[in-house]
Amino acid sequence: MHKNIKNSCVNDFDPSALDEITAIKQILKSITAIKKIETINIMDSLGRIASKNIKSSINIPSFRNSAMDGYALNIENLKKNKYNLKEQGISLAGQAYDKKLKNKETIRVMTGAVIPDNADAVIMKEMIDEKDGMISFPDFIQKNQNIRDIGEDITTGDIVIRQGRQINYVDLGILSSLGIRKINVFKKPIVSFFSTGDELIAINKKLKKGLIYDSNRYLLFGLLSELPVQIKDMGVVKDNEEVLAKKLKECAKVSDIVITTGGVSVGDADYIKSALRKVGKVNFWKIAIKPGRPLAHGKIKNALFFGLPGNPVSAAVTFQIFIIPAIRKILQMPHSSKLTMKAQVKSALSKKKGRIEYKRGLLEQKDGINTVNTTGLQGSNILSSLSKANCYIRLSSETEKIKKGDIVEVIPFDINL
């Protein structure tokens, strides 16, 4: 264990690399939105994307009802009767009292129960006095208090789900409250992926010197599993241009998106670019972000291609920054700008000018003050520091030195990177 050695990767800077924003724009420009839809039960729709607006055909509530356990009354009657009324009946949720209130009458009502048409206030049970079936009320009563009006939540014709919305638990509540059992969603785009590298072995084999377990495929599987896509694990391919080209073609035939990891840099065994050129089109392959740098983007027939770097942290970060927006666009989801926060760095940071850097950080909040520290070695092979992180510290392209106590931008995880 050499935990206190410096990062093994020296900072270098490539002026021909594309900046993050331009790269995202180019990716988004190359995308055609998915058209295919399917009709599914709402119970199967969590996380799926609505393919058209859904309107309500009813009002919620659909009848005037009580917001409290209490007494429904008519304020004019109440005043005429000097704030004393006779308890005439009871309206329970699901068992309505369906007569009008007469001059001297009040009825007991439960939360959610229908109230008489001419009732214009409900008084909480705790506010009244009861004696021999006669109820005396306080004299400060406001019109319509504790009455839930027709359509106050959702009105007939309201759009309750917009096209491109990812269905969540609230939507399940809303759809079912409207009596909607099935909805139209976009079909899941098919995403196939494979790892590349002669050094990779399967996790059920014994390790030998010079070999490593193929972990990227599992990492990618995890990242993809959180998205409304159909996942096709295409295994591992050796560093061989012919074989890679054949595999890319095979994947593109059955997928909307093809993702690879490794072999995309300038090493002697990096064949992704040349293989892609054989079977498709390379759009760009270098980006000015760290971790990341080599990232190939292109097309193979109609399939979108992403060649992610082999280093696991680079693969994860580039997936989050470039592939998630691409999948969102394919599914016609609205473009989401990242929610960021400001925090004070607990120790000095440094970086090279000319590229954006995402450092793995631990964000803490104490007495309303946000502080952040890096979580350890920041090499793009160091997955353990990503595992300890709860945010990325985003350092702009121009930034060079950050002193202890400076304010930096952080992107908390689980929000929207």
- Using CB under 6 A as the binding rule, whether residue 195 contacts ligand AMP is answered as yes
Q: Are 197 and 367 in contact (CB under 8 A)?
A: no
Q: Residue 175 CA to chain centroid, in angstroms?
A: 20
Residue nearer to Mg ion on the CB measure, 262 or 307: 262
CB of 264 to ligand AMP, least distance (A): 6
Q: Are 248 and 305 in contact (CB under 8 A)?
A: yes
Residues 305-334 contacting ligand AMP, CB under 6 A: 309-312
Binding string, residues 269-288; x marks residues near ligand AMP by CB under 6 A:
-x------------------
- Using CB under 6 A as the binding rule, whether residue 93 contacts ligand AMP is answered as no
Residues 268-327 contacting Mg ion, CB under 5 A: 310
- d(CA 210, CA 408) in angstroms, rounded, equals 39
- Using CB under 6 A as the binding rule, whether residue 214 contacts ligand AMP is answered as yes
Single out the segment in contact with ligand AMP by CB under 6 A; choices: 51-59, 117-125, 195-203, 390-398.
Answer: 195-203
The residues with which 192 forms a beta bridge, in sequence order, are 232, 258
- d(CA 49, CA 417) in angstroms, rounded, equals 18
Residue by residue, DSSP assigns 32-57 as -----EEEEEGGG-TT-BBSS-EE-S
Q: Residue 58 CA to chain centroid, in angstroms?
A: 29
- Using CB under 6 A as the binding rule, whether residue 296 contacts ligand AMP is answered as no
Single out the segment in contact with ligand AMP by CB under 6 A; choices: 159-167, 211-219, 355-363, 371-379.
Answer: 211-219
- d(CA 326, CA 134) in angstroms, rounded, equals 68
The one-letter amino acid at 242: E
- Using CB under 6 A as the binding rule, whether residue 267 contacts ligand AMP is answered as yes
CB of 272 to ligand AMP, least distance (A): 8
- Using CB under 6 A as the binding rule, whether residue 260 contacts ligand AMP is answered as no
Q: Are 261 and 196 in contact (CB under 8 A)?
A: yes
**CB under 5 to 8 A by kind: which of ligand AMP, Mg ion, none does 189 bind?**
none
Q: How many CA atoms lie within 13 A of 302 on its CB side?
A: 10
**CB under 5 to 8 A by kind: which of Mg ion, ligand AMP, none does 195 bind?**
ligand AMP
Residue nearer to ligand AMP on the CB measure, 237 or 345: 237
- d(CA 374, CA 372) in angstroms, rounded, equals 7
Single out the segment in contact with ligand AMP by CB under 6 A; choices: 6-14, 194-202, 280-288, 391-399.
Answer: 194-202
Tokens encoding 124:
């909480």
Q: Residue 89 carries which DSSP code? A: E
Q: Residue 104 carries which DSSP code? A: T
Residue from 70, 116, 262, 292 binding ligand AMP (CB under 6 A): 262
The residues binding ligand AMP (CB under 6 A) are 195, 197, 199-200, 212, 214-216, 261-265, 267, 270, 309-312, 381
The residues binding Mg ion (CB under 5 A) are 197, 262-263, 310
